[in-house]
Amino acid sequence: MTFKFRHAQPLVIPSPTAQARPIVPVSLASKFPGIAISGVVVADFVPSDEAQRLPLLFCRLQSWLYRSFSPMQPGLVPIEGDPEIALARAYPKNHRACFAPPLRPPEFVGDLDLGHLAVASPYTGYLERTGPRTFQWDFLELNNFECHAGLRPPGARVDFALDAHARLRATHIESDLGSCAPESKEWGPAMRLALCGLTTHSSLVRHFNWLHLVGGGPLSFVTRNCLNQNHPVRRLLQPHIYATHSSNQMVTIDQMGPGGDFENIFSFTHRGMCALYEATWANFDLQKFNPAVDALRRGVNSPDVETPALENYLSLMGVFEAHARRYLALYFQSDDAIANDASLAQWIESLSAYLPRGVDELAGTPLSCEGAVRLISTFIYLTTVEHEVLGSGVWNYQLWDDAQPVRVYQNGQRPPLDVYQRMVNANFNLNVRRTPLMSDFSSLALDAGGAQAFRDFRADLAHLQASMDHLPGTCWRIAPKNLKANINA
């Protein structure tokens, strides 16, 4: 893992080129035998301009080693009860020389603070209003899929209420442990099980199923197929779609294949994991990845509840919207001009065909300049901020098994060494160096005006970064300097 980390290099994103033929979407099951997921579609080939031969060979070698010399060893002892000692042994000095160890969130110190995690953590997108002063997390659906023997299914529903100080407090948890209230003796275990379900859903469903497969893959192949290399929107999106297919190919082999990371880290068997992906891919909604629209739909855009993470995301989204608006104004002088662009019309129609929902709602009918800004900035947000939140963003959370386990055992034991080590390694790998969003992409532009628009975008990100440099450090805040340009693993 340290060899892989040290040798991973950020990709240089080239200007778009003409493709020999269109990409044809095929079922994931047909492209990756052994992964029984037919509803998700993937590209039938990796375009030549983004093929990564050596990394792919390394990936196939790693997958072969997993199957032939499994790192999973039945009967190993559980990890240490002290989370600092457990982490120190699984994340030794060779790892730390590559990347700093995680910080422990203050919400994990003492009694778990689910209420603050609901508004200031990688999981803020799960909070939904249920009444004037009540809210919930709901991922009980995770209880419907086959788990490994001896594990509790990770589904849960957590009810929250605003207290007299306008802070969220967890008031009730429904899970495999039954119905629990704060005074119940099972309250502590129920909170840990709820956090297990939360991190499971965010990693498997929201991150890899929705961002990589259902959202990112079609965004890339539809853009490649519908917008030629000299279309201004193709140039605008190039930093955010490049190498999507090669990355998805490698991650699918390593993590989703039989014997891969997902079935050996999380609660589900391989069959259960495939069933989960099959059941949830159609729940993708692009509107979830526009923070302003999503907050309104979830009812969390009200001043009665503080939402610091949402405010962070909105500040980043504001920069993306300004970038898209400034760039599009160079090439489309009116709503009629953008509505009459035949390539854009085909692009939106194809996106609507492959993304289950949300495209038409964001773009509007007929397409206007502001509709295009809203749609394009949402795609930029999905591939940068949302991917950071759910990928590298869980680094400070997912490694603390005493607070947020990725498996909960029926007998109360801690995870064995092999499961925990593999989880640490997988999270370590999420932090490899990748192309920063704050790179200079002006060389991708069609002309001098477009080049200046890319430089202005970079300047806006730098200005926002400077404003964040004066804020106190947190485990959850996403700053421009953290962001990568796309969803490459």
Q: For the chain, what's the residue count?
A: 489
| Mean pLDDT calculated for residue range 339-350 | 98
What is the CATH superfamily name and number for domain 2-75+202-482?
Answer: Lipoxygenase-1; Domain 5 (1.20.245.10)
| Mean pLDDT calculated for residue range 362-384 | 97
| Mean pLDDT calculated for residue range 405-415 | 97
Is 336 in contact with 367 (CB distance < 8 Å)? no
Strands 25-27 and 41-43: antiparallel
| Mean pLDDT calculated for residue range 406-435 | 95
At residue 52, the pLDDT reads: 83
At residue 58, the pLDDT reads: 86
Please report the DSSP string for 70-92 in residue order: -S--TTPPBPPSSHHHHHHHHS-
**Which residues, 6 or more positions from 138, have their beta carbon under 8 angstroms from its beta carbon?**
126, 128, 157, 158
Q: Could you read off the pLDDT of 149-168 as tens digits, one per residue?
A: 999 999 999 999 999 888 99
Is 457 in contact with 319 (CB distance < 8 Å)? yes
| Mean pLDDT calculated for residue range 379-393 | 97
Beta strands in 20-139 (DSSP E): 25-27, 41-43, 128-131, 134-138
The answer, yes or no, to whether residue 395 has pLDDT greater than 70, is yes
Is 369 in contact with 328 (CB distance < 8 Å)? yes
| Mean pLDDT calculated for residue range 47-65 | 87
At residue 325, the pLDDT reads: 98
Nearest in space to 350 (alpha carbons), one of 217, 240, 205, 206:
217
Measured CA distances, 220 to 22, 244, 372, 379, 385 (Å): 12, 7, 17, 10, 17
Is 420 in contact with 89 (CB distance < 8 Å)? no
What residue ranges do the domains of the chain occupy? 2-75+202-482, 106-193
Terminal-residue alpha carbon distance, the chain: 14
| Mean pLDDT calculated for residue range 206-220 | 98
Is 144 in contact with 271 (CB distance < 8 Å)? no
Q: How far apart are CA 212 and CA 428, in angstroms?
A: 19
At residue 8, the pLDDT reads: 84
Nearest in space to 449 (alpha carbons), one of 334, 315, 333:
333
Q: How confident is the model at residue 96 (pLDDT cuts 50, 70, 90)?
A: very high
Q: H-helix or E-strand containing 175?
A: strand 168-175
| Mean pLDDT calculated for residue range 15-21 | 92
Segment 456-463 long-range contacts (CB within 8 Å, at least 24 positions apart): 456/323, 456/326, 457/319, 457/323, 457/326, 457/327, 460/319, 460/322, 460/323, 461/319, 461/437, 462/438
Q: H-helix or E-strand containing 8?
A: none
Q: How far apart are CA 378 and CA 362, in angstroms?
A: 9
Q: Could you read off the pLDDT of 285-322 as tens digits, one per residue?
A: 999 999 999 999 999 998 899 999 999 999 999 999 99
The answer, yes or no, to whether residue 20 has pLDDT greater than 90, is no
Q: How confident is the model at residue 489 (pLDDT cuts 50, 70, 90)?
A: low
The answer, yes or no, to whether residue 478 has pLDDT greater than 90, is yes
